[in-house]
Structure 1
Amino acid sequence: MMSNIKYLDLYYAAYGSNMNLEEMKKRCPDAKHEGTGTIEGYELLFCGEAGRAYLNVRPNSAKKVNVCLFKISENDLKSLDEYEEYPKLYGRSKCDVFMDDGSIKQAFFYEMDTKYDVMRPTESYYKRCEQGYIDNDIDTLYLKQALEKSTK
C-alpha cells in the first residue's frame, strides 16, 4: 500500500523536548525516528524569558550537541513551526548531523533568536527534555550542564 504522505528532503534534528518520543509522536504523527547523533560547533543552553525558558543551541566551536534525527512530512513541519513559534521565537538553521552509526546526514534545527538570554527553565519542561534523553539512550550530562549554566 502506497502512502500519500509527502516527506521533506531534509531531516529534522531535535535537541530539546522534541527528543521526547511520546511528545514527538503526538506533535508529528508522520515523523520517522532515524537515530541519534551530534551537531558540532554548538552548545546547549536554556534561553528565553522569566518563566518561559527553552532549550536552545548557540555557536561554540569547542562544543557539540546531542540530537535525535527525524524524517518528517510537510504536515509535521507545519506542526513543528507552530510549536517552535517559528519565525518569531526560533529560526531554522541547516547542519550536518554526525550519526552514531558513522553516517552524516544534512538536517535542519531550530535556533532561538539571539535577543533571548540564558534563563532557568521550569522543572516540568526540564523533565520533558530529560525524558527525551532517556528515550534515546543519551547521557544527560550536557542537559545537566545547560541547567547549571542557567542558574548563574
Structure 2
Amino acid sequence: MSNIKYLDLYYAAYGSNMNLEEMKKRCPDAKHEGTGTIEGYELLFCGEAGRAYLNVRPNSAKKVNVCLFKISENDLKSLDEYEEYPKLYGRSKCDVFMDDGSIKQAFFYEMDPSYEISTPSESYYRRVEQGFLDNDLDTRFLEEAYAKCKR
C-alpha cells in the first residue's frame, strides 16, 4: 500500500512540464491522466530575451493543449518551487476539456502579466517541443507562440 498523499487536485501542464521525462524527475508521484485543452487562452513566450518561458494569456478565440496530472502534496511543493510561485507564476483554476470527452477541474500556472513577449532559449524550446511530441500533440500552437515572439 502506498503512503503517498494525493490531493484531489489536477494540474494542467502546457510548457516544459509536458515533457514526461522532466515531469517524472520534478514530480515523481504525479499520475499522467491524459491530454486535453483549456479554452479562452493562448500560448506565448514571456520574460527576458533568450530566457522567456511559456505562458498563457486570455484570448477568447484560442485554446491551449495541456497534459493533465493528478499530483501529490510533494508534487505541488516541487511545482511551486520550479515555477517560482507566487513571484513569477500565480495559480489559476480552469476546466480541462479532455480528449476522451470528459471535463476535469484543474489548476495551471499563469505568469505575472508584467512580463513581455520575448524569445526563449533554444534548449528550453526543444524541451517544450519534446513534451508536445511525448503526448502526440500538434506542435502548431507552440510554433505560433514562437512566431509571435519573433515579430
Shorter-normalised TM range: over 0.9
**Per the alignment, in what secondary structure is the counterpart of residue 79 of structure 2?**
helix
One-letter amino acid of the counterpart of residue 131, structure 1: Q
User: 1: distance between equivalents of 2:125 and 2:22?
Assistant: 14
* Residue matched to 1:34: 33
Moved more, 47-56 or 137-146: 47-56
* Residue matched to 1:84: 83
* Residue matched to 2:3: 4
- TM-score by length of structure 2 reads 0.99
Give the gaps of 5 or more residues in structure 1: none
1:87-106 aligned at under 5 Å gives the runs 87-106=86-105
User: 2: distance between equivalents of 1:8 and 1:144?
Assistant: 34
Runs of 4+ in 1 over 2 A off after TM superposition: none
- TM-score by length of structure 1 reads 0.98
Shift of 1:86: 0.3
Q: Is the aligned partner of 1:71 residue 2:65? A: no
* 1:81-122 residue CA offsets vs partner (Å, 9 max, x unmatched): 000000000000000000000000000000000000000000
User: 2: distance between equivalents of 1:144 and 1:51?
Assistant: 16
Give the gaps of 5 or more residues in structure 2: none
* Residue matched to 1:114: 113
1:44-59 aligned at under 5 Å gives the runs 44-59=43-58
**Per the alignment, in what secondary structure is the counterpart of residue 67 of structure 2?**
strand
RMSD over equivalenced CA pairs, Å = 0.5
User: 2: distance between equivalents of 1:141 and 1:128?
Assistant: 16
Shift of 1:8: 1.2
User: 2: distance between equivalents of 1:48 and 1:7?
Assistant: 32
User: 1: distance between equivalents of 2:20 and 2:27?
Assistant: 10
User: 1: distance between equivalents of 2:125 and 2:7?
Assistant: 29
User: 2: distance between equivalents of 1:82 and 1:51?
Assistant: 21
**Per the alignment, in what secondary structure is the counterpart of residue 86 of structure 1?**
coil
**Per the alignment, in what secondary structure is the counterpart of residue 138 of structure 1?**
coil
One-letter amino acid of the counterpart of residue 148, structure 2: K
User: 2: distance between equivalents of 1:130 and 1:51?
Assistant: 16
**Per the alignment, in what secondary structure is the counterpart of residue 39 of structure 1?**
strand
